[in-house]
Chain A
Amino acid sequence: MSNATSHAAEGPGCAPIAFLPPRPDVLARRDEIMAALTELVSAGGVVRAPLALKPFETDAFVAYRQPPLAVVLPQTTAEVSAVLAYCHSARVPVVARGAGTSLSGGAIPQADAVVLGLSRMNRILEIDLENRTARVEAGVTNLSISEKVAAQGFFYAPDPSSQLACTIGGNIAMNSGGAHCLKYGVTTNNLLGVTLVLIDGTVVTLGGKHLDAGGYDLLGLVCGAEGQLGVVTEAVVRLIARPEGARPVLFGFDSSEEAGACVADIIAAGIIPVAIEFMDRPAIAICEAFAKAGYPLDVAALLIVEVEGAEAEMAAMLAEIVTIARRHGVRTVRESQSATEAALIWKGRKSAFGATGRIADYICMDGTVPLSQLPYVLKRTGEICAGFGLEVANVFHAGDGNMHPLILFNANDPAEAAKAEAAGNEILKLCVEAGGCLTGEHGVGLEKRDLMRFQYSEAELAQQMAVRAAFDPLWLLNPSKVFPLEGRPA
C-alpha cells in the first residue's frame, strides 16, 4: 500500500485529501456483497440504491464526500459479528458510523467500503445505580444516558457539544471530551467496559462494572482508536451523582489576552471550576443569534466559568474567581439566575458550530496547547487567518487548552475553500509547535491524517500502525483514516 496513488475526493472545490484507491475487485463484487449482507441482518437493514447511499457520503466534516459501496444497519451484536466476519472473509473495508457527527470525517466512507451504521442499536440495556453504571448499546446518544438517570440525581459526565445527537459508540471511537472534562475527564476516564467485535467477527468483552482492567489496558487503547481496532457494540459507562447545583457565570473582557491571563490565574490559584469556556467577539455574536442567552455583545472576549456544588460552596468559589477576574480588568460579570438561564448559556455555547452555519460555512480546528501558550496561539491564529483573507471565530475549552478556531469561508467558492483548509493546517502546525497536539477531542479522521507527521516521527507512526495491525492485520477497518497513506505497511 506504500505506493498507493491518490484518489481525489468527489465534487468540485474539494481540497485534495485523498481517499485510498478503491479495490476494483470489491467494486466488481458489489451485487454479490449486497446479497450476502442482506442475509445477515434483519429486514430493512441494507441500503443499496445508489441514490439512497448518497446521504451517507459524509458526516459533519462536510467538505469531503464519498458514497460507500453499501450501508448495513444491524440491530444486534450477533449481526455486527456476522457482517464483520463476512467482510473479513470477502476482504471488504468497513467504516463504522454512529450519528455521523464527526468533525474530522471519521465516518466518511470510501467507495469500496461497507458503512456499518450503529443507529439502530439504540437501547439502554441496564441502569445500575448502586454500582453507578449504565450498560448501553453503541447507538445510544450521549445525552440520553444522562436524561435516563436525571430523575435519580445522576449523569454521564463527558459532554461533547454534539451530545444531543452523537452516540456513545462514536464517543468511544473518538475519545470525546466536552466542556466539563476539566473536572470529570474525557470518555476514556468514564468508560468501564465495552463489547468489541473484532474484524474477523470475534466478540470480546473488555472491562465491565469493575474498575481494574485485566491484562493490558486494551479498553484504553480501543477508546480513541477511531474505529480501526474493532466495532464497539455495547459499553458500560460510569454514572456520577449530579452536584446539588451548577452555575455558569459570564465574564466579559475587553481583550482576549486579559481573558486568557484570567484563565491561567484561576487555574494557578488552585481553583478548578467544572468548565471554563472562551468565546471571542465573532463567536459571541453567532451563539447569541441562535440561543438568545444574554451573552454581552459589547466585549471582545467572554469566559463562561461554571462552578458547582451547594449554594454556599458555589458562592465561595465564585467570590474567589470574581476577585481574580477583577484583577484582569473584567468588564461584565453576570451570573445565571435560574436553571433555564443556565441551560440557555450552555445551549448557546454547545450550538456554536452549527449556529455558525447561519453566517458562513466553516471548518473547525481542534488543536490543544499548553495553557501558557493560549494567548500566543490565539494571536497567531488571528494573524494566520487574516493572512489568508479569512475570518475566524474562536470558541473553545480554555481550562484545558483545547482550541476550536472556526475558520469561516464560502464552500461554493473552491479557491476560498482551499484557503480555509490551508489556514487550518497552519493553525494545527502552530499548535504542535507550541507544545500541543493536532486534535484534542475531534479525532484525526480524514481531516488531519496527512498532518500526523507534524506530530509524530516515522518510527512513532510505524509503531502505532503495528499496534493497529495487531487488531486488523488486513487494514479493513476505516482504512482511509488516521495514518498517512504513504508509508503504510505493505
Chain B
Amino acid sequence: MTLPSMSSPSMISPAMILHAPRSEAEVVEIVRGALAGATPLALQGGGTRAGFGHAVAAEAGLSTSALSGILRYTPGEMVMTALAGTPLEEVEAALAGQGQRLAFEPADHRPAMGTQGVPTIGGVFAANVSGPRRIAGGAARDSLLGIRFVNGRGEALSAGGRVMKNVTGLDLVKLMAGSYGTLGLMTEVTFRVLPQPERVETLVFSGLEDQAAAELMAAAMALPADVSGAAHLPESVRGRFLAGALPEGAATLLRLEGHAASVAIRAETLTRALGARAPLQRLGPEQSESLWRAVRDIHPYAEDGTQRPLWRVSVAPMAGPGLVAALRMEAGVDAFYDWQGGLVWLRMEAEPEAALLRGLIAKAGGGHATLLRANPAARAAIPAFEPQPAPLAALAARVKASLDPHGLFNPGRMG
C-alpha cells in the first residue's frame, strides 16, 4: 500500500512517497522494488525519534504504521510479540492489564525532540530506547528476544526467538536494536516483560553538590538495596520536577521498587547507611511515578522552540560530575544526571561545543556524546553520534553492507 505522506516527521518531506505496507510480504515487495529502482528508503515507525542522527537522503518513506497489533501475549511466560508498528501505548496498556510492564522504561522523546506522532514498539527497539532503570533492568536491547525483519536484499528473516535464553547463531537481535533502521526494517518484535512492582518509593536527598551526589549514588549502588533508579537533579533543574514540589536545593534520587515489605526494608537500609549525608525525604508511588517519568523524558530540557543544543552523554558513572565541571569552565551549560551519574543530559546555552565536549569525554576516560537537538546548521556540521576510530568505522560499514549491500535503508542516518 502506498500513500502520500500525511504526517510530517522531520526527515520525510511532504512530497515524498510514503509506503505503509500492511504485511511482511508487502514490505518485501516494496524493498525489492526499491532495490530494482535503486531508490533509497527512509524507514520510520511513529516518527517521534526521527530527529536522531542525521538527515536521511531518501526518495521514499517506508512506515510501519499499518503493521500494527499484538500477535501473542503469554503473561505466564512474560513474553509478548507485536507487529513493529503497534503503538507503544497499546502495548503498555495490554501489559498493565495483566499487572506487567516493560522492564526498560522507554523514554518518550517527543517533548525533547519537539516531534508529534505516536511512538511504536518497533521504533523503541530500533532506537534502543532506555530509561532510568537502565542500571538495573537494561535497555530495550536487553529485553528484545526475537525479531522478524526485512533486509536490504528484500528477504524476510527472523532472528532470535521467544525464549529468554537463546544463543543459537549470531545475535542479530542485538545488532538490529539501536541500528536506527539502517540495517533493515523490523516488522515484528518479541520481547520479555516483567511484573509490575507492588510498590515504588523514592528517597530524595537534598542539597548535595554534583560530586557528593555521585558519591552517594555509588554508595547506594554498593548496598544490597536493589536501587532501580539513581539520578541527580542540580538546583538549576530541580524546580522543573513535580511542579517545584521537591525540597530546596539539588535533589539526589534513589528509586526502590518491589514487594511492599521489601521496599520498606531496603529504604531502611539506605536510610541507615546514607541518611547522615543529607536531608532525606521519601516519596510515595504517585509522586515517584511522575518524578521518574520526568527524568526519563528529559523534562527540564523539553523543546521550547529555541533549539538550544541537547546532548546525551554516556560516561562511567563517577566521571559525570567532573566532566560537567570541566565543561562549565569553558561553556554555558545546564546539566542533570541519570544512571548513577553515567548518563548526563547537557543543554548548551549557545553553541553545541562538540569538539570541546568530546575532547573532555576522552580525557574523562571515554564514553560518548550524542547530539539530539540543535539548529539545522549545527546538526549538519556536527556528527550526531560519537565518531568512531577508523578500524571500527570500517568494520561498522562492512556490517551495514552485509545487511543492506545497496545502501537502501536510511542512508546517512548514522553518519
Contacts and interface: CB of A to CB of B under 8 A. Distances in A.
Contacts of B161: 368, 435-437
A244 interface: yes
B19 interface: no
B144 to A, nearest CB: 10
B224 interface: yes
Nearest to B220: A241
A52 interface: no
Contacts of B382: none
A203 to B, nearest CB: 8
Interface in A306-346: 309-310, 312-313, 316-317
A223 B167 CA distance: 9
Interface in A133-159: 133, 152-154
Contact of A400 (B164, B172, B177, B414): B164
A457 interface: yes
A218 B259 contact: no
B316 A177 contact: no
Contacts of A208: 316, 365-367
B157 A463 contact: yes
Contacts of A444: 167-169
Interface residues of A, number: 92
Secondary structure type dominating chain B contacts: mixed
Given A131-B317, A189-B138, A216-B178, A440 B165 contact: yes
A368 B141 CA distance: 20
Contact of A470 (B99, B155, B314, B399): B399
A461 B159 CA distance: 10
Given A211-B343, A213-B178, A402-B165, A188 B171 contact: yes
B168 A438 contact: yes
Nearest to A457: B157
Contacts of A244: 224, 269
Contacts of A448: 168
B326 interface: no
Contacts, number: 274
Interface of A: 128-133, 152-154, 174-175, 177, 181-182, 185-186, 188-189, 198, 202, 204, 206, 208-221, 223-225, 228, 241-244, 264, 267-268, 270-272, 309-310, 312-313, 316-317, 368-372, 397, 400-402, 435-444, 448, 452, 455-457, 459-461, 463-464, 466-471, 482
B138 to A, nearest CB: 6
Given A310-B266, A455-B168, A211 B134 contact: yes
B288 interface: no
B170 interface: yes
A309 B225 CA distance: 8
Contacts of A368: 161, 163-166
User: Which of B162, B165, B265 has most chain A Cβ within 10 Å?
Assistant: B165
Nearest to B198: A270
B44 interface: no
A401 B164 contact: yes
A277 B269 CA distance: 30
